[in-house]
């Protein structure tokens, strides 16, 4: 994946830099930045040196212990009552907080890797400096280096703050959760937990959660296929209807549908749940009209599983069709008209034109977006969580209901009664594997038929 480009061999090996460099260069192998300071590249030199000093101070005073605790996640695993000599009383000692130990351990590993990366870049910079001095070419001054941050090195200026943000709020949490999948962090070990290898994976795939995992996985895939296919297909039809000849005020029609999507989902879906409730307006109206004798339990706790699942897919169509209508409108407007004209002249009816020409063309253009939608639907938290909350209950499931997807189950495992944090992390990893496999496979396929 990270293929190296073929580059020219370096102008000097590190061996040569070490052998022929002056004492500052030699010292720079240990204290980054000294050679740069010697060459009056103040900003760069002091930045390197300062970072190293701060890092070493942190490493000695806190990093080493943090990293060493990472191996055990804390020695005291259980709550104990110990006798306190000085006060002469028994006190309860809580176990070591493994959550915090693990978090800072992961952070320490990231910092260590970042330091290694910085050290390598400092070596590269050192070599460049050495070559410039050896060959007598121009050595950039401090000012030139600073102004290059706005020119040839603008990417450093633009990317460094965002990368820090991504590191702190996405990479660190993700790595932390991945490592949590290899522990026994659950309701039995809420504070002090330990590494248990692949045991949590075993629980999910073959253990007590397997009876929930596989049915929920099955429904998640059915849901993702159904939700993606229905919204796409009917979205295209709706777009064609609005775009068809003779319809006036197309923009206004589109806006009517888009409004549904624009309303915040926690409003529209929570209210939709109310609308479909056993005592909600829909049932009242249907009963008043005499269409049904008893209210239909669409999504309640004791609803029929199949009814609830169909309801969820239908409500998702209500939310999702406007979006796919919008995107396919843009594509339809750019479709080449000549094929359609030719087909019409040959006597093809609108249905044939749609099936043989328009639809395949739209499908072709939208393929990458469809894959993204499919993955988005695997992770579609809002529709399930807000509409049904996973209901109806299923007694043979562990902490999930009949309409629960893997993500909503993941949420329940963390914030519900069961508190199986490690299992939720395993689920996260499995969802990642599913999404990655699907998109890898699908991108391959779509690329193949693009080239072919």
- Among positions 302-331, residues that touch another protein (CB under 8 A) are 318, 322, 326-327, 329-331
- Closer to another protein at the Cβ: 83 or 351? 351
Work out whether 120 is an interface residue with another protein (CB under 8 A). no
Task: Tell me which residues in 427-446 interact with another protein (CB under 8 A).
Answer: 428, 431-432, 435-436, 439
Helix (H, G, I), strand (E, B) or coil at 94: coil
Length of the chain (residues): 452
Which residue has tokens 């040959």? Answer: 346
Work out whether 260 is an interface residue with another protein (CB under 8 A). yes
Work out whether 131 is an interface residue with another protein (CB under 8 A). no
CA–CA separation, 451 and 157 (whole Å): 38
The one among 56, 57, 91, 258 contacting another protein by CB under 8 A: 258
Number of Cβ within 10 Å of residue 50's Cβ equals 12
- Closer to another protein at the Cβ: 38 or 376? 376
DSSP 393: B
The one among 60, 120, 166, 292 contacting another protein by CB under 8 A: 166
Work out whether 363 is an interface residue with another protein (CB under 8 A). no
| Pair 316, 231: CB distance under 8 Å | yes
Task: Tell me which residues in 88-107 interact with another protein (CB under 8 A).
Answer: 99-100, 103-104
- Closer to another protein at the Cβ: 274 or 352? 274
Helix (H, G, I), strand (E, B) or coil at 89: strand
- Closer to another protein at the Cβ: 168 or 222? 168
The one among 27, 118, 172, 348 contacting another protein by CB under 8 A: 172
Work out whether 275 is an interface residue with another protein (CB under 8 A). yes
Q: From 267, 293, 272, select the one nearest 282 (Cα to Cα).
A: 272
| Pair 387, 312: CB distance under 8 Å | yes
Q: How far is the CB of 302 from another protein (least distance, A)?
A: 17
Q: How far is the CB of 363 from another protein (least distance, A)?
A: 14
CA–CA separation, 339 and 32 (whole Å): 66
| Pair 426, 181: CB distance under 8 Å | yes
Q: How far is the CB of 206 from another protein (least distance, A)?
A: 22
Residue 145: left (phi > 0), alpha (psi -120 to 50), or beta? Answer: alpha
């Amino acid at each position: 994946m990270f293929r190296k480009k073929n580059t020219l061999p370096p102008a000097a090996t590190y061996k040569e830099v070490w052998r022929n460099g002056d004492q500052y260069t030699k010292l720079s192998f240990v204290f980054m930045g000294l050679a740069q300071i010697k060459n009056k590249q103040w900003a760069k030199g002091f930045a390197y040196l300062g970072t190293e000093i701060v890092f070493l101070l942190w490493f000695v005073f806190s990093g080493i212990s943090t990293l060493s605790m990472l191996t055990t996640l804390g020695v005291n695993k259980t709550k104990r009552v110990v006798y306190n000599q000085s006060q002469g009383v028994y006190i309860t000692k809580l176990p070591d907080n493994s959550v915090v130990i693990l978090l800072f351990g992961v952070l320490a590993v990231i910092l260590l890797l970042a330091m290694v990366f910085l050290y390598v870049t400092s070596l590269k910079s050192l070599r460049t400096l050495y070559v410039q001095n050896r060959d007598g070419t121009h050595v950039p001054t401090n000012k030139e280096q600073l102004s290059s941050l706005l020119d040839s090195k603008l990417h450093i200026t633009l990317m460094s703050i965002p990368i820090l943000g991504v590191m702190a709020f996405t990479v660190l949490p993700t790595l932390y959760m991945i490592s949590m999948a290899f522990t026994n962090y659950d309701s039995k070990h809420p504070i002090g937990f330990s590494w248990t290898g692949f045991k949590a994976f075993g629980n999910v795939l073959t253990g007590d959660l397997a009876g929930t995992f596989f049915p929920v996985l099955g429904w998640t895939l059915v849901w993702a296929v159904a939700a993606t296919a229905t919204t796409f297909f009917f979205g295209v039809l709706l777009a064609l209807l609005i775009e068809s000849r003779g319809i006036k005020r197309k923009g206004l029609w589109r806006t009517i549908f888009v409004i549904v999507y624009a309303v915040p989902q926690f409003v529209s879906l929570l209210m939709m749940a109310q609308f479909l409730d056993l005592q909600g307006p829909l049932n009242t109206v249907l009963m008043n009209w005499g269409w049904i004798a008893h209210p239909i339990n669409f999504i309640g706790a004791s609803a029929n599983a199949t009814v609830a699942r169909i309801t969820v897919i239908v409500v998702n169509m209500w939310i999702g069709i406007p979006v796919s209508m919008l995107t396919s409108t843009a594509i339809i407007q750019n479709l080449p008209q000549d094929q359609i004209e030719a087909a019409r002249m040959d006597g093809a009816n609108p249905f044939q034109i749609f099936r043989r020409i328009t639809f395949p063309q739209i499908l072709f253009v939208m393929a990458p977006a469809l894959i993204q939608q499919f993955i988005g639907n695997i992770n579609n938290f809002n529709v399930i969580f807000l509409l049904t909350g996973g209901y109806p209950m299923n007694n043979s499931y562990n902490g999930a209901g009949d309409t629960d997807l893997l993500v909503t189950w993941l949420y329940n495992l963390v914030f519900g009664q069961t508190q199986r944090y490690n299992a939720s992390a395993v689920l996260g990893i499995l969802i990642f594997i599913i999404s990655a496999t699907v998109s890898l496979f699908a991108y391959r396929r779509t690329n193949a038929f693009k080239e072919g």
